[in-house]
Chains A and B, each alone.
Chain A
Amino acid sequence: MIETANLTKKYGSFTALNDLNLSISEGTVFGFVGQNGAGKSTTFQILATLMSPTYGTVYIDGLDIAKEPAKVRRLIGYMPDFFGVYDQFRAEEYLDFYGASYGLTVPERKEVIPQLLELVNLSHKRDSYVDLLSRGMKQRLCLARSLIHDPKVLILDEPASGLDPRARVEMREILKELKTMGKTIIISSHILPELAEMCDEIGVIDSGKLVAQGTVSDIQQKLQQQKVIIVNIKKDVEQTVRFFEDDPDVGDLQVLENGAIQFSYRGTDESQQALLKKAVMADIPLLGFSQLEKNLEDVFMEITRGAEEE
């Protein structure tokens, strides 16, 4: 549904987007995660036909955005990270204007607008002036606006940013519902865990470069290849340190403040099992031997740190 090849955007000598290759199939919810300034909004603006890339191509549903931008616009619903509203419009009029802008007839608009207001839980605000709505409500109204012409693809740039926890949950629930409607959604955030539970695939972008792509578990697994092991002991710290240092797969060994020993381990699950057995046989006074679970935030930090070092 969305294909980018060698997508690059340069501003003079600064490269905002560097050789981005994406392939997102129909019906997928794709999470685009990266720090502020990583290139997420630039990518989205190019996909939304609002910006020309320096190099590369973009195809949406088989249409080249450079050759058929008007047709592409009918396929996409775009929600920018920052957007304004027409203050003197009521919520219903706001949606009606955009419906008309997409060529929907009056009966079509009369049918679809109440449905959209209900989807985003704003039916009770249909006659309220847009500027009097809370930020969360404006975000939801803008999401309804991006759905007015029933687009195949939704491009949502940080739809939950600046929202309070309750509004974030509401937004997440709406997005889950859109997922069940079979829309292809590309959604960005700088918070990986926020995207993880609702996305089929994740792409991590750092300094304009795609540094990881796959399912959430794929990305986690990729990083789990280098595990962190914590060993709790009661006594004989020096002997234990010497024992683990002798293993070729052990690295970065350190003794923590609570007396536990932490090291990174490059071996397989089988060799890890053998190492534990060997420690028991060597009479190491073990109280615990555990692998440190990395959360998604750690994974994200590790991926982006790795990319920076390269």
Chain B
Amino acid sequence: MKSALLNPVLNKEIRLRFRSVKSFIGIAFYLLILGVISLGFIGLTLSFDSMGTFQPDESRGMFLVIGMLQLALVIFITPGLTGGVISSERERQTLPILLTTAQSSGSIILSKLASSLSYLLLIVFASAPLYMIIFLYGGISPSSVLASFGLYAFTMLVIGSFGVLMSTLIRKTIIAVVTTYSIAFFITGGIAVITMMLLSFGYNFQSHGQDYIWPFLFASVNIPIMFFSLFEESIMVQLQEMAGFSFSPWIIFFIVYGTTIALSLTLAIRKLRPKIKTKAYPKA
């Protein structure tokens, strides 16, 4: 643990990131967006309420809105922060020197990912005071807030791993970032759309008394749907009934994305440095 914290690449990344004014402007901008929307939501609700009160049910609704908004921001920011971690070093011509040091490929990749994610975590946790406003009005348990923060962290890890892999495989930062965005939007928005389409087929099957598993499977690997199900369990219960079994969707979620993270990072580590092969010179 101590050696991980003292890792020179991680140390350097964090030091350079927080030496830049841009990082603090980023946090301020993020909080401003969330603050304006959440306080605006409260203001609007109060102005439309004849009694001028904010009910626990409305507080719950506000939590869902802020939670989904925060998830959307995480999905939107993570590719930009991780899609260039290796390719930008390549473009700045600092990568060859870094690769000739004694740092292992694993240490470089994991440090780069950790430093990007630590900045993202700081952004997300900086929004915690906004959640305290919601607690004032009730309707949400602390465990729900913790679960949502846990899911944000996991989402960052999933998309961040794709970002680091793309950044390692693709030489140009802009292409690596765009590819990471495409993947991130597919596993969030794309799979959600597919789930909705499959759901309409599912109702047909259900009306004929047949089980239909696909909407459940796709929903189980869709981050926004799973996030929503943290607070509205009925949505996944409905899909489980359509599928005809009571297997927890979280098991599918963590197995699929856990494997994806492991594969992405392993591939990035293997591809960072060239594999030096020795072949005999062909005889004339």
Interface residues of A (CB under 8 A from B): 5-6, 8, 19, 45, 48-57, 64-67, 69-70, 73-74, 76, 78, 80, 82-86, 88-89, 93, 97-98, 100-103, 142, 145, 149
Contacts and interface: CB of A to CB of B under 8 A. Distances in A.
Interface string B1-35: 00000101101100110011000000000000000
Interface of B: 6, 8-9, 11-12, 15-16, 19-20, 92-94, 96-104, 273-282
B98 A101 contact: yes
Contact of B280 (A51, A55, A76, A149): A55
B278 to A, nearest CB: 4
B101 A83 contact: no
Contacts of A86: 12, 16, 94
Contacts of B98: 101
B28 to A, nearest CB: 20
Contacts of B15: 93
A6 B276 CA distance: 15
A108 to B, nearest CB: 13
Q: Looking at B98, B100, B101, B273, which has the most chain A CB atoms within 10 Å of its CB?
A: B100
A73 B97 CA distance: 11
A135 to B, nearest CB: 14
A5 B277 CA distance: 14
A151 B23 CA distance: 37
B102 A101 contact: yes
B102 A83 contact: no
A278 B178 CA distance: 82
B97 A83 contact: yes
A52 B101 contact: no
28 contacts: A50-B99, A50-B100, A50-B274, A52-B274, A55-B280, A56-B281, A57-B278, A66-B276, A67-B278, A69-B273, A73-B102, A78-B96, A78-B100, A80-B93, A82-B93, A83-B94, A84-B92, A84-B93, A88-B19, A89-B12, A97-B8, A101-B9, A101-B103, A102-B101, A103-B102, A142-B97, A145-B97, A149-B102
Nearest to A80: B96
Given A48-B96, A55-B280, A82-B93, A73 B12 contact: no
A70 B276 contact: no
Given A52-B276, A86-B16, A88-B19, A80 B97 contact: yes
Contacts of A93: 15
A66 to B, nearest CB: 4
Given A70-B102, A97-B11, 19 more contacts: A8-B281, A48-B100, A49-B276, A50-B96, A52-B276, A56-B278, A56-B281, A69-B276, A73-B100, A73-B102, A76-B100, A83-B94, A84-B93, A84-B94, A88-B16, A89-B12, A89-B16, A98-B97, A101-B9
Contacts of A45: 96
Contacts of A67: 278
Nearest to B92: A84
Nearest to B280: A55
A294 to B, nearest CB: 34
B275 to A, nearest CB: 7
Contacts of A97: 8, 11-12
A100 B10 CA distance: 11
A149 B102 CA distance: 10
A100 B8 contact: yes
A161 B278 CA distance: 32
Contacts of B279: 53-56
Contacts of A76: 100
A134 to B, nearest CB: 18
Contacts of B277: 52, 66
A112 to B, nearest CB: 15
